[in-house]
Amino acid sequence: MFAQLIQDPAKINYVENPAKPPEIDAWGQLPKLASTFDHVDGLFYFTYIVCIFFFVVILGALLFSVVKYRRKTWDQPAASNVTHNTPLEVVWTIVPLIIVMIMFAWGFKGCMDMTVVPEAASRNTYKATAKQWNWTFTYPNHATPSFNEVWIEVNKPVQFLCESTDVLHAFFIPVMRVKRDIVPGRFQSVWFHPIEIGEFHLFCAEYCGDDHSRMYAKVHVVSAEEFATAPWDKWDDTTPALAAKSGESLYKNLCQTCHSVNGTPAVGPTWKGLFTKQGDTFVGRQREVIEGGAKKTITVDEAYITESVRKPDQKKVAESPYDKNNMTAFPDLDERRIKGLIEYMKSLAAAQ
Amino acid sequence: MSTNVPVIDAHPTISEPPKNYLNCSRGFMSWAGTLDHKRIGIMYLIGVSAAFLAGGVFALLVRLHLWEPHGMLFTNETYNQIFTLHGAFMVFIFVIPAIPGSLGNMVLPLMLGAKDVALPRLNLLSFYLWCGGTLLATLAIVLGGFDTGWTFYAPYSLYTDQAVVSIGLGIFLLGFSSIFTGLNFIVTTHKLRAPGLTWFRMPLFVWAIYATAILQVLATPVLGITVLLVAFERLYNIGIFDPRLGGDPVLFEHFFWFYSHPAVYIMVLPAFGIISELVTVHSRKPLFGYKLMAFSALAIAIISFLVWGHHMFTSGQSTFAMFAFSFLTFFVAIPTAIKEFSWVATIWKGSIALNSPMLYTLAFLIIFAIGGLTGVILGALNVDLHLHDTYFVVAHFHYVMMGSIALAFFAGLHHWWPKMFGIMYDETLAKIACALIFIGFNATFIPQFIMGSQGMPRRYATYVPEFEGYHHASTIGAVILGSGVALMVYYLLASLLIRKPAMQNQWGGVTLDWLTPTPPPLENFATPPSVTTEVYDYSTLDYESLRTPVR
């Protein structure tokens, strides 16, 4: 029983190859990498300073009193028996009221600027689909989507229309100061204006189940020239070996969260032993599946794998816990990429 | 300081110790079936302390797991269950009932000059409902655990294959326990005040418990309905929150926070009450701005019903809702600031005794200042868009829940311990424990503020490597904090064996709770007391009672 509770050290349990950490300023804060940050950071520093001021005042008064008015003999009465002071009480009611009203007005103004999508951003609209536990990005005017990685052009305002196909998620890019919960059944929009080239974190910020912490995407902010080459649409499958290599990187990006290649049990069945090598040909293994409630045995082949990627519930592996666990469907994954994954599965057999 | 008090034994002859509520009857049933508010208070104290220690162990497991970026100990699923257990045990089983259930039950009737609470049988029932709820929550662990977070956000809580129904029903029972306690205290405060004890002569602890009770009675039913709807939704697919059936998950958030925001004040108002009592007694000076303090407790209670939307600034609610909720949220800052300023002004020019209850109080005043001020930062709309659901929020609410409320509970426990049992704990160890808790607490949560503002999301079983250093600091802090709490448990339990007698009026309080014999007799007062002086009038203090030991 405990084996299921305690982590298997062999299981890679973190995000592989995340973006480099952003540089941190003297205040311990993130750098300014989007034009939207001014709305947040100006007020953040203002509230920060106000809070530090009040904290120092309170702490100072407290420590001064404790040192000066410490009880020296057990029956010492207080130095003063004052019960109230109306002018003082009015002052410490009114002054904080004025300060927090400034914070409120400033915050609301900034919030409106951050949530009302400008015309330029709405002409550059991406779609972000969040599922347990991965991200799919679809680009404006480009048919090929990308998974757990997204490329955007620098100095060009961008809008993301976010949707979820299962539970709550949240779209959070810390350096851009944007966050939006993604509610299933609705489109939620966020926009920002990246001003510096680089690679940044995109986290899921709303708890969404087992692998919430591994629901990570890398944001590439690139120059207009590089963007024009559509870096996400590079897929080298000129030879089976190169296709397997492309497949491997897609596996690491997308499939590794739930499927191991070394036989370690995970959310989904392992890919180890799907194919075996006999001479020069690869033979798929026999597998018990449930289709339409009935058990049957099939041979693993390209058609089965393609179907399992696009409609995973069609044939479920008849083995606990895989008969219960649901896989997210990837209907957008094109033929070439599925071929690449299959080449990768075959290369696993070849390596043995 | 108490150690400087020359002890005069007023009763040198050895005789039977006087009958009090502890020794008046014996046997299991005399406790399990008791209607005495003090015994019920002690049973609550044992229960909530056990829940706190369990929640604390879960917290330490969470912190140890996060020592390494890929998680050191558990699978992600187990980690999610453990942080959920930590949250659910601490919030529903410890913090909400802790102060009203234990210290409120113990002290409120004493402060009012009453024989007992108005409805003693209901009081016992609410304790057993607490036991039932805790049992169901523990059963949920045995049934496979639950991994929804203490907030039970739909639709994940509807889809996960774990024991959500059992914990839901547990929370339903705990809710009724809370409602009954609140009802009881409202009636008691209205009906059982001693002659001469007018509303503005009541100690502020009574005001705080009274304001809390109003919240408990009005807000908790919404939580009960919400968890029942989640249970029905799981069992019968009725489609209220499930988007696949046409439901709305954001509706769940509204329902949940309509209770759980006032619940924050259900938790924190009694803590305010304790601190108000302790600053005046240990400074031997009337509470500064008494009336404004009483009104600000009520103001907090009322405004807290109107700010729940600030938990949902990123959920896509309408702009008008964001406007209104942010505006109202800032208003809570005002009565809260008044309280903090008034406590500091009470200490000013007082006669400040640096004994352990006062040290816990001073620690509270510092930590609550940070907890409250960071709340102001989070109230600003656009800043919240960045900080929401990060470790900044985690650190902020731990500064309020653990740093302020639990510390106020410890302060109150040390303050009324001699009253409850007539014995004193080891003051030196108490001061060391207080220092360990204060240092450990800040070491745990200050790194979390920094991580949060740099974008570390909450509820993460694994994290990107740049946060590793902050997580190390936080885990070391948690171990220091844990050792402080362990030391506290040790010397409090040891004091029950060593039985060093306390003084009749250990700290020199002038409210009615210190004017009965220590420990109090079964029905509190030999003759019904009447009140002729204003509250916290230290000119009436009988210094002789400070050096008369308990027999």
DSSP letter string, A225-288: HHHHT-GGG----SSHHHHHHHHHHHIIIIITTT--SSS---SS---TTSEEEETTEEEEPEEE
For residue A287, the enclosing domain spans 240-350
B200 Cβ under 8 Å from any chain A Cβ: no
Q: Which residues of A touch B354 (CB under 8 A)?
A: 66, 70-71
Res A352: pLDDT? 56
Q: Is the pLDDT of residue A351 over 90?
A: no
Q: How far is CA B203 from the centre of its chain?
A: 19
Q: What is the pLDDT of residues B279-338, one digit of tens each?
A: 999 999 999 999 999 999 999 989 999 999 999 988 878 888 888 999 999 999 999 999
Residue tagged 């844990």 (tokens)? B482
| CA B439 from centroid of its chain's CA atoms | 20
Question: Tokens standing for B76?
Answer: 């992600």
Say if CB A262 and CB A272 are below 8 A apart: yes
Flag whether residue A187 sits within 8 Å of chain B, measured between CB atoms: no
Instruction: Give B273's Cβ-side CA count (13 Å radius).
Output: 29
**pLDDT of res. B2:** 45
Contact criterion met (CB < 8 Å) for A206 and B153:
yes
Query: Do the chains contact at B354 and A71, CB–CB below 8 Å?
Result: yes
The residue of chain B nearest to residue A265, with distances taken between CA atoms, is B75
Residue that finishes a domain, picked among A205, A233, A261: A233
The residue assigned the tokens 């600053």 is B279
Are B459 and A207 a contacting pair at CB < 8 A?
yes
Whether A104 sits inside 8 A of B326 (CB atoms) is yes
Contact (CB, 8 A) for B408 and B274: yes
pLDDT at residue A255 tops 60: yes
CA-CA-CA-CA torsion sign (B253, B259, B260, B261): positive
**Cα gap A79→B280, rounded to integer Å:** 13
Residues contacting B24, CB < 8 A, separation 6+? B521, B522
Q: Are residues A95 and A36 in the same domain?
A: yes
CA distance A346 to chain B (A): 29
Can you give the CATH number for the domain in which A205 is found?
2.60.40.420
Shared domain for A157 and A172, answered yes or no, is yes
b/e sequence A17-38, b meaning 16+ C-beta within 10 Å: ebbeebeeeeeebbebbbebbe
Instruction: Kindly state whether residue A77 falls inside one of the protein's structural domains.
Output: no
Cβ burial of A60 (10 Å; 0-12, 13-18, 19+) is: exposed
| CB-CB under 8 Å, B72 with A212 | no
Which of B62, B279, B290, B383 to probe the A interface (max A CBs under 10 A)? Answer: B383
Report the domain count for chain A.
Answer: 2
A209/A272 same-domain check? no
- Residues 263-302 (A) with a CB less than 8 A from some CB of B: none
Residue type, B468: E
**What is the reported pTM?**
0.89
Max alpha carbon distance in chain B (Å)? 79
Rounded to an integer, what distance in angstroms lies between the CA atom of residue B448 and that of residue B399? 11
Question: A22-36, A247-261, B522-536: which range is least confident on average?
Answer: A22-36
Taking only residues 491 to 520 of chain B, the set having a beta carbon closer than 8 angstroms to any beta carbon of chain A reads: none
B304 touches B332 (CB < 8 A): yes
Residue A90 neighbours by CB distance under 10 Å? 11
Q: How far is A240 from chain B (nearest CA, A)?
A: 34
- For residues A132 and B130, the model is more confident at B130
A50 within a domain of the structure (yes/no): yes
Is residue A2 in a domain?
no
CA of A181 vs chain B CAs: smallest distance (Å): 5
CA distances from A198 to A152, A253, B131, B150 (A): 10, 19, 55, 37
Query: Do residues A265 and A211 share a domain?
Result: no
Helices B164-191 + B120-142 axis angle, to 10:
160
CB contact under 8 A, A71 and B459: no
Residue of B nearest to A80 (CA): B349
- Residue A139 domain-assigned (yes or no): yes
**Interchain contact A108–B (C-beta under 8 A):** yes
Both tokens assigned to A263: 């036989």
* CB proximity list for A331: less than 8 A, separation 6 or greater: A310, A311
CATH of the domain at A323: 1.10.760.10
Q: Domain check: are A228 and A274 in the same one?
A: no
Pair A229, A278 in one domain: no
pLDDT at residue A273, as a whole number: 85
Q: Treating both helix axes as pointing N-terminal to C-terminal, what angle do A37-68 and B356-379 enclose, rounded to 10 degrees?
A: 160
- DSSP secondary structure code for residue B507 in this structure: S
Contact (CB<8Å) B2/A74: yes
A195, A227 Cβ separation under 8 angstroms: no
Position A290 in a domain: yes
- Decide if pLDDT at A36 tops 90: no
What pLDDT sits at residue B141? 86
Residue type, B358: M
Same domain? For A204 and A152 the reply is yes
Describe the crossing of helices B407-421 and B468-498 by its angle, rounded to 10 degrees: 10
CB A216 within 8 A of CB A190: no
| Residues pairing with A281 in the sheet | A278
Structural domains in chain B plus CATH codes? 40-520 (1.20.210.10)
Residue B344's pLDDT is 95
In chain B, residues with a C-beta closer than 8 Å to the C-beta of A8 are 75
Taking 50 as the pLDDT cut, the residues of chain B under it are 1-3, 12
Q: Touching check for B465 and chain A: CB below 8 Å?
A: yes
Residues 39-78 of A with CB under 8 A from B: 39-40, 43-44, 47-48, 50-51, 54-55, 58-59, 61-62, 65-66, 69-71, 73-78
ipTM, interface predicted TM-score of the complex? 0.88
Q: Residue B449: name the closest of B506, B383, B365, B387 by CA.
A: B387
C-alpha–C-alpha distance, residues A42 and A37, integer Å: 8
Say if CB B338 and CB B292 are below 8 A apart: yes
Minimal-distance CA residue of chain B relative to A1:
B144
- A71 and B1 in contact by Cβ < 8 A? yes
As given in the structure block, the two tokens for residue B200 are 């503005």
**So what's the pLDDT on residue A347?**
87
Nearest to A110 among B248, B381, B461 (CB): B381
In a domain, A33, yes or no: yes
Angle between helices B204-236 and B105-112 (to 10 degrees): 140
How confident is the prediction for chain A on average, in pLDDT? 86
* Interchain pair B385, A178: CB under 8 A: yes
Question: What does the pLDDT look like over A181-224, one tens digit per residue?
Answer: 999 988 999 999 998 899 999 999 999 988 899 899 999 999 99
Phi-psi region of B508 (alpha: psi -120 to 50; beta: other; left: phi over 0): left
Helix or strand holding residue A316 (H, E): strand A315-317
> Which pLDDT value is given to residue B193?
94
- Residue A40: its chain B contacts at CB < 8 A? 382-383, 385-386
Cβ-contact B241, B69 below 8 angstroms: no
* Chain A: closest CA distance from residue B334 (Å): 6
Instruction: Give the C-alpha separation, B106 to B116, whole Å.
Output: 9
Residue B409 tokens, joined: 């509970």
Share of chain A above pLDDT 70, in %: 93
What percent of chain A stands above pLDDT 90? 34
Domain co-membership, A213 together with A255:
no
Would you say residue A102 lies in a domain? yes
Domain co-membership, A177 together with A323: no
Total length of chain A: 352
Q: Backbone phi, then psi, for A104, in 5-degree steps?
A: -65, -50
Report pLDDT for B15. Answer: 62
Whether residues B337 and A4 touch (CB distance < 8 A) is answered with no
- Give the domain-ending residue among A213, A233, A253: A233
**Element holding A158 (H helix, E strand):** strand A158-164
Q: If you count residue pairs, one on A and one on B, with CB atoms under 8 Å apart, how many are there?
A: 309
Which residues, in sequence order, are bridge partners of residue A173?
A: A178
By C-alpha distance, the chain A residue nearest B318 is: A115
**pLDDT at residue A1 tops 50:** no
B60 contacts B478 by C-beta, under 8 angstroms = yes
Specify the pLDDT at position A11.
54
Is the domain of A211 the same as that of A276? no
Would you state the pLDDT for residue B4? 53
The answer to whether position A76 is within a domain reads no
Chain A interface includes B1 (CB < 8 A)? yes
Q: Choose the closest CB to B76 out of A47, A104, A210.
A: A210
Same domain, A151 and A292: no
The answer on A209 and A176 residing in a single domain is: yes
Q: Enumerate the β-bridge partners of residue A289.
A: A296, A317
